[in-house]
Chains A and B, each alone.
Chain A
Amino acid sequence: MKKFLYSLALACAVLSSCDIEPLYIESDLRWKKYEPQTLQPTHTIRELSQMYQPGKPFVVNRDLIVGGQVVSTDQPGNFYKSLFLQDETGGLELKIGRNGLYNDYKQGQWVYVNCRDLSIGMYGYKTGSYGGSGMVQIGFSDPTGEYETSYIESPLLVNTRIIRGEQGTMPEPVAVESSGQLPKSSDSQATHSLLGRLVTLRGLYYAKETFVLLYLDSTKDKKLYTNRVFLSDTNGATGDDKTHGITTWAMSKSKMTEYLCAGLWDDCKVGSGSTFTGQTLADFRGDGSYPGVEKAAYSVSQYFTMGQTSIQVRTSGFCKFADLEMPADVLSGRRALDMTGVLTIYQGSLQLVVNSQDDWRYSDTGKKLYER
Chain B
Amino acid sequence: MIKRLVLTLVTLFAVLTPATAQLPSGGIKGTVINRADRSPVTGAKVEIFKEGRPSGIVSTVQDGTFLLEGYDRGDWMIMVTAQGYLPVQLNVTLSGGVRDLFNIGLTPTKAVENPEDGSDFMEFDLADTGYSDAPTVLFSDDVYSSIVGYSFGSVRFKNRGYNSESQDVLLSGIKLNDALTGYSPWSLWSGLNEITRSKATTNSMEASDYALGGYNGVTNIFANPSSVRRGLRVSALTNSAMYRLRLMLTYASGKKDNGWSYAFSASGRFGGNDWIQGVFYRSLAYYAGVEKTFGDAHTLSLFTFATPGIRGTQNASTQEVYDLMGDNMYNSNWGYQNGKRRNSRMRKTFEPITVLKYEFTPSDRFRSMTTLLWRTGKNGYTALDWYDAQDPRPDYYRNLPSYAYMEEEDIDRSNPDKADWMRYAWTASGSEFDKYRHVDWDHLYDVNASSPDGRSKYAQEERHVDQNDINLAESIKWRASDLFTLTAGVTLKWNRTENYKQICDLLGGKYFLNIDSFAERDFAVSEARVQNDLDYWIRHGEAEKITTGGKYGYDYIAQVRRAGLWANGAFHKGGFDASVGVSAGYDAFWREGLMRKGLFAGTDDAGRDIIIDGVNLTTRDSKGRVVTSKGKSEVSRFFTGSAKAFAGYTFVGGHRIWADAGFFNDAPTFNEAFVSPRTRNTLMDGLTTKKTLSGDINYQFSHKGYNARLSLYYTRIWDQSDVMSFYDDSQHSFTNFAMTGISQRHMGLELGVSVPLPLQGLSISGVLSLGEHIYNSRPHMVQTIDNSAEIIRDEEVTWWDRTPIYKIAGYSPEGTPIYDQDINGNFIITGYKKHYVAGSPQVAAQLSLNYNIRYWFFEINGQCFARSFLDMNPLYRTDYACRGGDANPGIIEEMTAQEEFAPAFLLNASVGKSWFVKGNQLGFSLSLNNMTNNKNVKTGGYEQTRLIASSGKDRYYRFDPKYFYMPGFNYMLNLYFRF
> A residues near B, CB below 8 A?
1, 3-4, 6-8, 10-12, 14-19, 21-25, 27-34, 75, 77, 98-100, 103-104, 106, 117, 140-144, 150, 152-157, 218-222, 252-255, 296-297, 318-324
The docked-state distance in angstroms from the alpha carbon of A14 to that of B4 is 6
- Chain A CB within 8 A of B922 CB: yes
Do the beta carbons of A154 and B522 come within 8 Å of each other?
Answer: no
With A4-B19, A320-B524: A15-B337 Cβ-Cβ less than 8 Å: no
- Chain A CB within 8 A of B457 CB: yes
Against A, the Cβ 8 Å flags (1 = close, 0 = not) of B712-750 are: 000000000000000001101000000000000000000
- Chain A CB within 8 A of B7 CB: yes
With A33-B449, A156-B421, A321-B525: A103-B457 Cβ-Cβ less than 8 Å: yes
**B contact residues around A98 at 8 Å (CB):** 390
Of the 9-residue stretches B439-447, B657-665, B684-692, B865-873, which lies at the interface with chain A?
B439-447
- Chain A CB within 8 A of B817 CB: no
Of the 9-residue stretches B373-381, B397-405, B489-497, B893-901, which lies at the interface with chain A?
B397-405
**B contact residues around A106 at 8 Å (CB):** 450
The docked-state distance in angstroms from the alpha carbon of A356 to that of B58 is 94
Do the beta carbons of B421 and A157 come within 8 Å of each other?
Answer: yes
The docked-state distance in angstroms from the alpha carbon of A12 to that of B236 is 7
**B contact residues around A99 at 8 Å (CB):** 388-391
Against A, the Cβ 8 Å flags (1 = close, 0 = not) of B140-166 are: 000000000000000000000000000
Q: How near does chain A come to B911, taking the closest CB pair, in angstroms?
A: 14
Do the beta carbons of A22 and B341 come within 8 Å of each other?
Answer: yes
- Chain A CB within 8 A of B508 CB: yes
CB nearest to B236 among chain A residues: A12
Do the beta carbons of B442 and A31 come within 8 Å of each other?
Answer: yes
Do the beta carbons of A3 and B19 come within 8 Å of each other?
Answer: yes
Specify which of B389, B451, B505, B526 is in contact with A27 (CB 8 Å cutoff). B505
Specify which of B339, B390, B508, B525 is in contact with A22 (CB 8 Å cutoff). B339
Question: Quick one: which of B361-416 are within 8 Å of A by CB?
Answer: 388-391, 398-399, 403-404, 412, 414-416
Q: How near does chain B come to A13, taking the closest CB pair, in angstroms?
A: 9
Do the beta carbons of A4 and B915 come within 8 Å of each other?
Answer: yes
Q: 4 closest A-B pairs (Cβ-Cβ)?
A: A24-B342, A16-B245, A156-B425, A100-B389
- Chain A CB within 8 A of B181 CB: no
Q: Per DSSP, are chain A's interface residues mostly helix, strand or loop, or mixed?
A: loop
CB nearest to A323 among chain B residues: B525
Do the beta carbons of B915 and A103 come within 8 Å of each other?
Answer: no
With A75-B388, A100-B389: A155-B8 Cβ-Cβ less than 8 Å: no
- Chain A CB within 8 A of B73 CB: no
Of the 9-residue stretches B10-18, B248-256, B803-811, which lies at the interface with chain A?
B10-18
Q: List 27 A-B contacts (CB under 8 A).
A: A4-B15, A11-B12, A11-B238, A15-B8, A19-B244, A23-B343, A24-B338, A24-B341, A28-B337, A28-B338, A29-B445, A30-B338, A31-B337, A33-B445, A34-B442, A34-B443, A98-B390, A100-B388, A100-B457, A150-B415, A153-B398, A155-B436, A156-B421, A156-B422, A254-B523, A320-B524, A322-B524
With A30-B338, A155-B436: A8-B390 Cβ-Cβ less than 8 Å: no
Do the beta carbons of A219 and B730 come within 8 Å of each other?
Answer: yes
Do the beta carbons of A254 and B399 come within 8 Å of each other?
Answer: no
Do the beta carbons of B8 and A33 come within 8 Å of each other?
Answer: no
Do the beta carbons of B8 and A14 come within 8 Å of each other?
Answer: yes
- Chain A CB within 8 A of B5 CB: yes
The docked-state distance in angstroms from the alpha carbon of A156 to that of B435 is 9
Q: How near does chain B come to A15, taking the closest CB pair, in angstroms?
A: 4
- Chain A CB within 8 A of B207 CB: no
Do the beta carbons of A255 and B525 come within 8 Å of each other?
Answer: yes
Q: How near does chain B come to A141, taking the closest CB pair, in angstroms?
A: 6
Of the 9-residue stretches B35-43, B112-120, B195-203, B949-957, which lies at the interface with chain A?
B949-957
- Chain A CB within 8 A of B973 CB: yes
The docked-state distance in angstroms from the alpha carbon of A98 to that of B436 is 15
Do the beta carbons of A6 and B525 come within 8 Å of each other?
Answer: no
Do the beta carbons of A254 and B522 come within 8 Å of each other?
Answer: yes
- Chain A CB within 8 A of B975 CB: yes
Against A, the Cβ 8 Å flags (1 = close, 0 = not) of B263-304 are: 000000011100000001010000000000000000000000
**B contact residues around A252 at 8 Å (CB):** 522-525
Q: How near does chain B come to A89, taking the closest CB pair, in angstroms?
A: 28
Against A, the Cβ 8 Å flags (1 = close, 0 = not) of B493-512 are: 00000000000010010000
- Chain A CB within 8 A of B678 CB: no
Do the beta carbons of A19 and B975 come within 8 Å of each other?
Answer: no
The winner among B11, B16, B390 for most chain A CB atoms within 10 A is B390
CB nearest to A16 among chain B residues: B245
Specify which of A1, A3, A157, A219 is in contact with B949 (CB 8 Å cutoff). A219
Question: Quick one: which of B202-245 are within 8 Å of A by CB?
Answer: 236, 238, 244-245
The docked-state distance in angstroms from the alpha carbon of A32 to that of B441 is 9
The docked-state distance in angstroms from the alpha carbon of A324 to that of B391 is 29
Do the beta carbons of B524 and A319 come within 8 Å of each other?
Answer: yes
The docked-state distance in angstroms from the alpha carbon of A108 to that of B450 is 14
- Chain A CB within 8 A of B424 CB: yes
**A contact residues around B436 at 8 Å (CB):** 155-156
- Chain A CB within 8 A of B417 CB: yes
- Chain A CB within 8 A of B347 CB: no
Known A-B contacts: A3-B19, A154-B422. Give 13 more (CB < 8 A).
A15-B8, A16-B236, A23-B342, A24-B343, A28-B340, A31-B442, A34-B446, A140-B415, A143-B415, A150-B415, A155-B399, A156-B425, A321-B525
Specify which of A4, A17, A23, A297 is in contact with B4 (CB 8 Å cutoff). A17
Do the beta carbons of A153 and B418 come within 8 Å of each other?
Answer: yes
Question: Quick one: which of B785-812 are within 8 Å of A by CB?
Answer: none
Q: How near does chain B come to A371, taking the closest CB pair, in angstroms?
A: 15
Do the beta carbons of B244 and A16 come within 8 Å of each other?
Answer: yes
The docked-state distance in angstroms from the alpha carbon of A254 to that of B340 is 47
- Chain A CB within 8 A of B580 CB: no
Question: Quick one: which of B441-484 are within 8 Å of A by CB?
Answer: 441-443, 445-447, 449-451, 457
With A23-B341, A154-B418, A219-B949: A10-B8 Cβ-Cβ less than 8 Å: yes
- Chain A CB within 8 A of B931 CB: no
**A contact residues around B953 at 8 Å (CB):** 219-222
**B contact residues around A31 at 8 Å (CB):** 337-338, 441-442, 445-446, 508
Do the beta carbons of A11 and B975 come within 8 Å of each other?
Answer: yes
- Chain A CB within 8 A of B968 CB: no
Do the beta carbons of A11 and B11 come within 8 Å of each other?
Answer: yes
CB nearest to A104 among chain B residues: B447
Do the beta carbons of B310 and A153 come within 8 Å of each other?
Answer: no
CB nearest to B338 among chain A residues: A30
Q: How near does chain A come to B588, taking the closest CB pair, in angstroms?
A: 37
**A contact residues around B418 at 8 Å (CB):** 140-141, 150, 152-154
**B contact residues around A152 at 8 Å (CB):** 418
CB nearest to A167 among chain B residues: B450
The docked-state distance in angstroms from the alpha carbon of A29 to that of B338 is 9
CB nearest to B386 among chain A residues: A100
The docked-state distance in angstroms from the alpha carbon of A154 to that of B270 is 38
Specify which of A3, A23, A140 is in contact with B15 (CB 8 Å cutoff). A3
Q: How near does chain B come to A142, taking the closest CB pair, in angstroms?
A: 7
- Chain A CB within 8 A of B917 CB: yes
The docked-state distance in angstroms from the alpha carbon of A19 to that of B451 is 35
Do the beta carbons of B245 and A12 come within 8 Å of each other?
Answer: yes
Do the beta carbons of B340 and A143 come within 8 Å of each other?
Answer: no
CB nearest to A8 among chain B residues: B975
**B contact residues around A117 at 8 Å (CB):** 421
The docked-state distance in angstroms from the alpha carbon of A34 to that of B341 is 19
Do the beta carbons of B340 and A12 come within 8 Å of each other?
Answer: no
- Chain A CB within 8 A of B130 CB: no
- Chain A CB within 8 A of B312 CB: yes
The docked-state distance in angstroms from the alpha carbon of A33 to that of B508 is 11
**B contact residues around A221 at 8 Å (CB):** 952-954
The docked-state distance in angstroms from the alpha carbon of A30 to that of B343 is 16
Q: How near does chain B come to A283, taking the closest CB pair, in angstroms?
A: 22
Specify which of B16, B508, B524, B730 is in contact with A3 (CB 8 Å cutoff). B16
Do the beta carbons of B12 and A143 come within 8 Å of each other?
Answer: no
**B contact residues around A34 at 8 Å (CB):** 442-443, 446
**B contact residues around A140 at 8 Å (CB):** 415, 417-418
